A and B are shown apart, each in its own frame.
Chain A
């Protein structure tokens, strides 16, 4: 009855993954090539966009173009210029920096120097920062309209008994504040990274010499972290410089005859101008050169800033690696 037959469930050969590196592995070759191609395609997209803009934009770029305040009809290629847009974009990101840098840096100081790493408050702050980074830019625009203009601005007007709306209307200050809220996570994350890169030994040495925690932060930690904080500021600026959606309802103007003088003035903006030129032009073929030139100016502005930030960040990372 009990004859010794090999049980049927035993496979004839042992199964398992066969890694055959010694033979030419077609799959390996094919898929490596495929992922390489994906990388190349992304790089190609980047190159095509940049080259297209540089080649077409270069011709329209002139000193006259970047230094002229255009007339009401800014679609005319010969008399147009982008000076008010460059000024408007620069001022709005500059005002934004004044607000976002202190708040962002102090938050980062709290998170790295004071906070207990796994306390509930810290976790909630981190979650809030992450969420803030993911909120769509148009929602920031709505927030700016609903909070800064309709709530704060209107109330300032009511308190000051202004006969007509001065603060309760789209303005440079509200656009800058909206952008400051939007770029807060950028500053926080960059500052935190640079604070973490500072060896704890430095802090301990300072404390051991009798300095208080605050003195240590102000005199030892912050000076060391300065490049990282600058990176954060620059990244925030370059992110904000190209954003259009948050300022649509909070301060940008289609046309202004003069440069903004006061924080309650509206302003013209490079990114918004690109949008206007590409969607509202009476003759897109004719205005193409000024459109390309404007895009190039915007790109030069944001890329120059990005490049600086990337170089600084690479240095900070290298330092971090050398220490670790």
Chain B
């Protein structure tokens, strides 16, 4: 037996190592697949292949041969797979059906300029549009009815509104608590309080939503005396409940990881505990606290059930005491009604991709900030 090296010496070891390596790539594969498959369902939207115009210029059935396959697919709203499975006669009868459907459109829509609009074009998704019978251009999300309006701005506003209310409520509370628990409290108190607050993250969001809907909504309405019982304010505070353990946990870790020497030096110079915490420890841990806030933002923007249960009307309003419909809520509530492969379905997937991108970016920022923070504390930078 000569000396073997590499995989000749221990083939099982070598195989096992390769196998373990391959499995460990699954996290990367999954992130990639998530983006790929969520974006894939939204893709036709980006290529302008969807058309929601109610009244379309009918193409005579005899012209079938002159059209390109892509044009036929778009006209008959077929997927490439469906198109490939059809023979010419089926296509012809489909074109006849399309013609008849156009003839049967009620008179009121025939003269409506909105009925000729493809509402899935970018300008109708993002810019305000003056719809028929409206006085001024408006942002409207209204995916039902003959003329479907898909302006996503009300949803973005709703998401931002609830998320920001949640953060305004949660950040001061959880950072304050993190300062107290990590700097002021006795070690014994700390050992009890920290896991207890983290227990809050064990409450399923559907339970927080339930609590907000049944109990908090009534209490808050009595306290503040606003009109609509279920509004963005209630949803925001409930979101705050869900975000508090995230921010608290990371901020507390960051504050605790500030080297002992900092605190001891400050205390030795005669600073009080509070002065040490506020002027020495907090500035040193600021990147960590910032990262905690960013992660909290990501968590709040992606929270579904709470906002879904507490408020759902999509109104374009910045007032916190009006209802709001967030992106997540819209996806959860409307996916069941959306026709698979239809424009509504595609737009919901596009919103999902948008959400994925937003949380991806906030995770990246938070991750980079925390990594730099750790390096700095270790004195490598």
Contacts and interface: CB of A to CB of B under 8 A. Distances in A.
Interface of A: 17, 19-22, 25, 27-29, 31-32, 34-39, 41-43, 45-46, 49, 52-53, 102-103, 106-107, 109-111, 114-115, 124-125, 127-143, 145-147, 150-151, 181, 184-185, 188, 212-214, 238, 241-245, 248-249, 271-272, 274-275, 278-279, 284, 288, 291, 295, 298-299, 302-303, 306, 310, 314
B352 A142 contact: yes
Nearest to A245: B304
B30 A39 contact: no
A274 B206 contact: yes
A274 B37 CA distance: 30
A318 B195 CA distance: 15
Nearest to B331: A138
Contact of B274 (A25, A42, A49): A25
Interface string B348-359: 110010011001
Contact of B363 (A43, A131, A279): A131
A201 B299 CA distance: 40
A143 B39 CA distance: 9
Interface stretch (B17-25, B91-99, B146-154): B17-25
15 contacts: A19-B269, A38-B177, A49-B241, A102-B23, A131-B364, A134-B362, A135-B302, A136-B301, A136-B359, A139-B359, A212-B13, A244-B305, A278-B209, A278-B214, A306-B202
A225 B359 CA distance: 32
Interface of B: 10, 12-13, 16-17, 19-21, 23-28, 30-31, 33-34, 37-38, 40-41, 172-174, 176-177, 179-181, 184-185, 193, 195-200, 202-211, 213-215, 241, 244, 248, 269-275, 278-279, 295, 298-299, 301-305, 308-309, 328, 331-332, 335-336, 340, 348-349, 352, 355-356, 359-360, 362-364, 367
Given A49-B207, A114-B17, 10 more contacts: A19-B271, A46-B197, A49-B211, A185-B27, A214-B13, A242-B203, A274-B207, A274-B210, A298-B207, A303-B199
A97 B146 CA distance: 45
B203 A49 contact: yes
Contacts, number: 270
Given A135-B359, A142-B349, A279-B309, A36 B184 contact: yes
A138 B34 CA distance: 12
A242 B26 contact: no
Contacts of B38: 139, 142-143, 146
B22 to A, nearest CB: 9
A129 B30 CA distance: 9
A3 to B, nearest CB: 39
Nearest to B179: A35
A146 B204 contact: no
Given A124-B28, A128-B28, A142-B331, A109 B20 contact: yes
A242 B232 CA distance: 23
Nearest to A215: B13
Contacts of B23: 102-103, 106-107, 110
Contacts of B179: 35
A278 B17 contact: no
B173 A184 contact: no
Given A25-B272, A184-B30, A245-B304, A139 B210 contact: no
B200 A46 contact: yes
Contact of A249 (B31, B206, B295, B336): B336
Given A19-B270, A21-B270, A138-B331, A39 B210 contact: no
A137 B30 contact: no
Contacts of A38: 172-174, 176-177, 180
A320 B327 CA distance: 43
Nearest to A240: B204
A179 B57 CA distance: 46
Contacts of B279: 17
Given A107-B24, A128-B28, A131-B364, A42 B177 contact: yes
Given A28-B275, A278-B210, A135 B24 contact: no
In the complex, the 9 A-B pairs of residues with the closest C-beta atoms, listed nearest first: A136-B302, A242-B204, A38-B176, A110-B24, A35-B180, A28-B274, A245-B304, A146-B37, A39-B177
Contact of B176 (A34, A109, A272): A34
A53 B207 contact: yes
Contact of A242 (B27, B172, B207, B274): B207
A107 B19 CA distance: 10
Contact of A125 (B24, B207, B214): B24
Contacts of A288: 214
B27 A140 contact: no
B215 A52 contact: yes
A103 B37 contact: no
